[in-house]
Amino acid sequence: MDLLEHYLGAVAAQLVKDQREDIIAELQDTLLNQFEEKEAALGRGLTDNEREAILREMGHPLVVAARYGKGPQHLAGPDLFPWWLFAVKAGLLIILALHLVDVFFTMLTGLGGFQDAIRQLFIIPFEGGLVWIGIATVAAYVIERTGWRPGFMTDWRVKDLPVLKLSDPAAWGAAMTGEKEKPASATWSGSRSPARWPAGEAIFGIIVIGVFIAWWGGFQTSGMEGVTLSRTGEFLTVAPIWSANFVPILLLAIGQLWIELLRLMRPQWVRFIAGLQAVAAGVGLAILWTIFEAGHWFTLSNDGSSIRVFGGWSQLVLERLRAFDDGQRDLIGNASTLSMILSWVFVGAMLSLAFAVLRHLVKAIRGNA
């Protein structure tokens, strides 16, 4: 088999079977004519190197076959590429932010060691980033070849454009502080207080709630079995009240995530969103009240001994709070200290939710942002 047959065979392997014969016949005639013209110019037959040079000028078999192919010759065209790039950048920033918060929760709760934290910080975001880029690329490939365009690409509205800041690292920094970046201005307009970016709180809420949902789902399988406290070596197990409220807490978190998505995508729905926030805060208050009234929250054990972490109104004594540093550091003392601290935390959280219900109800009535 000579060079021409090798070349044509490589091109044919890349073509659709129904068109292969006609295209190869046309390409063969073109190349044979070029060989004959070169031979006539030289006055002799061509060497293998000279034949190969002509084949190189024609192009690589993959490139030549692509010329005869149907449809786009790219993954994402000029109109679609900016969307692909935005999706990749925004997705990578969200993945990184989610895992940063996840690492914080892991180290805070002690549900993983230092090695697990390092793995979550570096390896998991890298793996998730590669998967996300692959998903975005496949989606771009399908959209490019089907000609279909989602509604948000064709029927976009100016009031929805703040979502594009998801791909801007500076906007993420503003989201964490709740402030808006100063716009470029040709004239000085006097001192201004920093303006809030409306989507900032929503983005931050989506991140925190998303991590909590992932953590709470894993807590059902691992955390419910108990946690070893790193400082004292004591073993902390949860009371049945937490298992009984696992589904309500999960559903509440999912509902709050949906509310934050509405705040991001439909910020003009002020009253409707405020009403939903009031309902969510009320449900959260009811769940906290149920857990608080149960009293038995955890069990602390060490060396075969165990004692309940039992909270309630009796723990809310200011004198005990003032004498916090004077408490015993044995199993009983640690359980008593934990009971007191958690009782105050529960009461503070319930008061915060009660005020949140009132605040959101007022916003729902007045309709002001």
What does DSSP assign to residue 123?
I
CB 95 within 8 A of CB 132: yes
Number of alpha helices (DSSP H) and beta strands (DSSP E) in the chain: 15, 4
Interatomic CA distance for residues 63 and 88, integer angstroms: 28
Kindly state the tokens that stand for 278.
Answer: 């009031």
Q: For 309, phi and psi rounded to 5 degrees?
A: -90, 100
Residue pointed to by tokens 């004239």: 187
CA angle 132, 259, 88 (to 5 degrees): 15
CB crowding 26-35: b at 16 or more within 10 Å, else e: ebeeebeebb
CB 259 within 8 A of CB 277: yes
The model's pTM is 0.50
Residue pointed to by tokens 């078999």: 61
- Residue 117, pLDDT > 60, answer no
In tens, the pLDDT along 63-116 reads 888 887 776 666 777 777 887 887 888 777 777 777 776 666 555 555 455 445
In tens, the pLDDT along 15-39 reads 878 888 888 888 888 888 888 888 8
